[in-house]
Amino acid sequence: MHARPVVAGLPALVLAALIGTMAMMSFVAVIGPVVRLLGLSEWHAGLSVTAAGVLWMLAARPWGRLSDRIGRKRVLLLAMAAYTVIYVGLAVFIDVALQVVPPVLVSVLVLVGARGLIGLFYAAVPPTAAALIADQAPTGQRAQFMARLGSANALGMVLG
């Protein structure tokens, strides 16, 4: 009897994709009320969402190439650690800013800058996770594992 081949760390990878995508999408749901409470314009919210999307798009391929050079696990750990630290920092800033409203320029710079960095680092996750699965999954099971990753991303969008 043969052990069922699996991708090392697949549950953690799927969970990271789910939580990461959920966090990206949940920001979109809360930024509208936040900018109003901070005295910002709606376009500031749009700018912060756009910054994340643009940097995500621009950084995905370079992250993929970097994972080819230094390894999938190193890139995933670095990117998810930075993503988490920046998101926690943004959450702390928003919490404090809702109590003591900072100048508009400070709020805009932090929201746009943090979201841009969040997009930059999260951009590493989808291509590197897919590459990790492609590297490790047996040919006959590759589609199944890729589907799990895709489902986690889709569920993260819905839950976020």
pLDDT (tens digit, 9 = 90+) per residue, 116-143?
Answer: 999 999 999 999 999 999 998 888 989 9
pTM of full prediction above 0.85: yes
- Tell me if 88 is assigned to some domain: yes
- Tell me if 125 is assigned to some domain: yes
What does the pLDDT look like over 138-157, one tens digit per residue?
889 899 999 999 999 999 99
In this structure, the dihedral spanned by the alpha carbons of residues 37, 35, 21 and 47, taken in order and rounded to 10 degrees, is 180
- Tell me if 64 is assigned to some domain: yes
Contact in structure between 51 and 115 (CB atoms under 8 Å)? yes
Contact in structure between 105 and 158 (CB atoms under 8 Å)? no
What does the pLDDT look like over 43-99, one tens digit per residue?
999 999 999 999 999 999 999 999 999 999 999 999 999 999 999 999 999 999 999
> CATH number, domain at 93?
1.20.1250.20
Burial class (CB in 10 A: 0-12, 13-18, 19+), 65: exposed
**Count of structural domains, the chain:** 1
Residue 7: predicted pLDDT: 74
Its domain, for residue 101, covers 10-159
- The number of helix segments (H) and strand segments (E) in the chain equals 6, 0
- Tell me if 5 is assigned to some domain: no
